[in-house]
Structure 1
């Protein structure tokens, strides 16, 4: 399977019957899958089914989908509510007679609320189902485009992540070959430190100093950290090659990378090894940032 990013955008549009519709879908990073739909009034009944469709093709990400609906000019019917008109006219004539006011014209009465009833023709049940089917199909098409874009972004991310792994592997090899890690170099540095202590004239137990030196040598040994970094690089390459929804696994692995580089820096017994550790930390952070975009 190919890698997929959680970032993407897609838009589809179409028409059915008297209706025109358009979908816009945008997705960004997310710990899980969160699909949020914005549907026009009267179309909320589609939400549950649309979310199920999205959950079948998307694994992670915050997804926002917006549906816009426009209806072509529909036939309009106009009806005069004669009962209301007669009741109003009777009341108006009575008041006009009592007040000796001029009679009210008919067009004035027609402007009163409730006298004229204007209504647009409604879709039949079959027409409504046809529009809902077209809108749902359009949503699926938009999701397909979104998945394709996320796959394209995922392929680009895969290249970047492999480059970061190349850098981490190269720096790990540099740390492995660093002269200060050689046993002779460690022994020489420890011997120098012991000589300085002995020259102070203080009363030190040579056996005790020897034991402390051995403990110190074991503490500054970064053999395990380097071995783990090599293993983590291999595991990350395998995940990238496997593809699919490996974002969470890679995120966990990035944390392990960070832990090993921190320990390497703390154990480094020479400025050159510390410099390599700091470079490693920078690459690991770049790796971690990019991993956040993987599904």
Structure 2
């Protein structure tokens, strides 16, 4: 199944660390380029995230945005620094003894001391596991989206290949008729001019002109390229560059066929072939 390089996916999951949201957008590109936007708390996982993306996507420009939004869960509450508090209280009592006072230390005053309140932080290993799992799910969704678009592209290309195949067969059928029309046209022209010609020389010139109409090699190659492209479309790997090369070969044969065409019908077929090939080329630009 072929894959488009255009796709979109969004995945989110509620965790004890907050709501983790991942959004992926991909467009066509000659190579694979991944751009990550990560909150600082997820930054240490970027290398592993990038490796996951590169293992599953071969081509395209992929923008990947992560968000981790707080939900006010218990692990995000402030924790009282008991050890520091005991030390401060002990020092406060000692100061009262030295000064001969009995001032009490209120809880609000105690909490204003630096580092008295500690914000809990997520377990890095657990957060990493959840992040990687959710990202992998998002990647699978993106790949499915790209494959769905790839199926549509495949149908368009197959339709154009069918038309190229039909035109190729039509050109093969028309070649003898084109040769006869060329003979008739030249004979009629000579009759109109009322000139005497060497029949042997005339036959030689006719043979030479008809040989120029020999498009068997071009039509055979066009048929071969149709078969090769259909075979490539059945592959499960990245085939965009292979298809691009085949499109260039299609163009080469269509141009040669057009240059040999000294017949209006064959010329029209060559033009239509180039239109169909260009339509295939446009579709191929978006295939992974």
In the superposition, the TM-score normalised over structure 1's length comes to 0.75
Which residue number in structure 2 is paired with residue 23 of structure 1?
22
> Equivalent residue of 2:135, what SS?
helix
CA distance change for structure 1 residues 16 and 140 in 2, over 3 Å: closer, same or farther? same
Aligned length, in residue pairs: 256
**CA deviation string 1:147-169 (max 9, x = no partner):** 11122222222222111111111
**1:123 maps to what in 2?**
121
Q: Secondary structure at the match of 1:293?
A: coil
Aligned twin of 1:14: 13
Q: 1:237 aligns with which of 218, 226, 230?
A: 230
- Cα–Cα, structure 1 residues 14 and 273, in superposed 2: closer, same or farther, change >3 Å? same
Q: How far apart are residue 191 of structure 1 and its match?
A: 4.1
Find the aligned partners of 1:14 and 1:216 in 2 and give their Cα distance: 73
Provide the residue aligned with 2:285 in structure 1.
292
SS of the residue 1:30 aligns to = coil
Q: Any idea what SS the aligned residue of 1:245 has?
A: coil
- Counterparts of 1:1-295 in structure 2 under 5 Å? 2-73=1-72, 74-76=76-78, 121-123=119-121, 127-178=123-174, 181-192=177-188, 199=195, 213-295=206-288
1:123 counterpart SS class: coil
5+ residue gaps in structure 1? 80-109
Q: From the superposition, tell whether residues 279 and 22 of structure 1 become closer, same or farther in structure 2 (CA, over 3 Å).
A: same
CA contact (8 A) 1:34 1:62 kept: yes
Q: Judging changes above 3 Å, is the alpha-carbon distance between structure 1 residues 254 and 120 closer, same or farther for their aligned structure 2 residues?
A: farther
- 1:123-148 deviations in Å (ceiling 9; x for gaps): 15xx1221122111111110011111
Bigger CA drift: 170-179 or 211-220? 211-220
CA displacement at 1:11 relative to structure 2: 0.7
What value does the CA root-mean-square deviation take over the aligned residues? 3.1
What's the secondary structure of 1:259's corresponding residue?
Answer: helix
Alpha-carbon offset, residue 16 of structure 1: 2.7
The equivalent residue for 2:103 is none
Structure 1 residues 119 and 260: alpha-carbon distance in aligned structure 2, compared to 1, 3 A threshold: farther
Q: TM (normalized to structure 2)?
A: 0.77
Maintained 8 Å contact 1:19/1:131: no
- When residues 45 and 18 of structure 1 are mapped into structure 2, their CA distance, relative to the original with a 3 A threshold, is closer
Q: Is the 8 A contact 2:78 2:120 kept in 1?
A: no
Aligned mates of 1:264, 1:49 — CA distance in 2: 52
- 1:86 corresponds to: none
Q: What is the distance in 2 between the residues matched to 1:214 and 1:194?
A: 16
Does the CA-based 8 Å contact 1:78-1:117 persist in structure 2? Answer: no
- CA drift at 1:220: 3.0
Aligned to 1:100: none
Q: Distance in 1 between matches of 2:192 and 2:42?
A: 83
